[in-house]
Structure 1
Amino acid sequence: MTTTVKGRKSESPDLLNGPVAPMFMRMAMPIILGLLVNGLFNFVDAIFISRVVGTDAIGGVSAAFPIHMVMISISAMLGSGMASILSRRLGAGRDEDVSAVFSSSLMLAAVVGLLISIILLVFRFEIFTLTNLPNALLPYAVDYITPIALFGVISFSYGTLSEAFRAEGKNMQVMKLMACSALLNIVLDALFLFVFEWGVP
Structure 2
Amino acid sequence: MQKAPSENQFFRYVLPSMLAMLLSGFYAIIDGFFIGHTIGDTGLAAINIAWPVASFLLAAGTGTGAGGSVVMTTRLGEGKKEKSRQALGNTLFVLAAFSSAMTILLLLFYRPVLQFLGAEGGLLAAAAEYTQIIAIGSACQILGTGLVPLLRNQGKTISAMTAMVCGLTANIILDALFMMVFHWGMFGAAFATVTAQALVAVLSLSMLFRRKEERPFRRDLFPRGKIIARLIKIGLSPFGMTFAPSIIIILANWQCLAYGGSTVVAAYAVLMYFVTSVQLLLQGVGEGVQPLLSYFNGAGNPQSVHNLLKKSFALVLILSAALCTAAVVFRDTIPMIFGSSGETAVLVSSALLIAAFSFPMMGITRLASSFFYAVQKTRYSIFVIYADPLALTPLFLYVLPLFWGVTGIWLSIPAAQGILACAAGVLFISYFRGHGGAASLHQNNGGMTG
TM-score normalised by structure 2 residue count: 0.39
CA apart distance, 1:45: 0.7
Q: Matched residue of 2:184: which SS?
A: coil
Tell me which protein shows more helix as a share of its residues: 2
- After superposition, the C-alpha distances for 1:59-85 in whole angstroms (9 at most, x for unaligned) are 111101122222222221111111012
Structural mapping, 1:91-130, within 5 Å = 91-92=77-78, 94-130=80-116
5+ residue gaps, structure 1: 4-9
Larger radius of gyration: 2
Alignment-mate amino acid for residue 59 of structure 2:
S
Structural mapping, 1:8-47, within 5 Å = 10=2, 12=3, 14-15=4-5, 18=6, 20=7, 22-47=8-33
Q: Matched residue of 1:133: which SS?
A: coil
User: Are the counterparts in 2 of residues 60 and 140 from structure 1 also a CA contact under 8 Å?
Assistant: yes
Aligned partners of 2:29, 2:159: CA distance in 1, in Å?
A: 23
User: Are the counterparts in 1 of residues 49 and 118 from structure 2 also a CA contact under 8 Å?
Assistant: no
* Greater mean deviation of Cα atoms: 173-182 or 81-90: 81-90
Aligned residues: CA RMSD: 1.9
Aligned partners of 1:35, 1:160: CA distance in 2, in Å?
A: 12
CA apart distance, 1:35: 1.3
% identical equivalent positions:
26
Q: Does 1:171 align with 2:157?
A: yes
Name the structure 1 match of 2:141: 155
Q: Does 1:146 align with 2:110?
A: no
Q: Matched residue of 2:160: which SS?
A: helix
CA apart distance, 1:156: 1.6
* Greater mean deviation of Cα atoms: 125-134 or 93-102: 93-102
CA apart distance, 1:155: 2.1
CA apart distance, 1:104: 2.1
Aligned partners of 2:146, 2:110: CA distance in 1, in Å?
A: 25
Aligned partners of 1:95, 1:147: CA distance in 2, in Å?
A: 40
Name the structure 2 match of 1:182: 168
Structure with the bigger RCO (C-alpha within 8 Å, sep 6+) is 1
Q: Matched residue of 2:186: which SS?
A: coil
TM-score normalised by structure 1 residue count: 0.84
Alignment-mate amino acid for residue 57 of structure 2:
M
Alignment-mate amino acid for residue 175 of structure 2:
D
Aligned length: 187
Aligned partners of 1:153, 1:38: CA distance in 2, in Å?
A: 16
Alignment-mate amino acid for residue 52 of structure 1:
T
* Greater mean deviation of Cα atoms: 87-96 or 146-155: 87-96
Q: Matched residue of 2:18: which SS?
A: helix
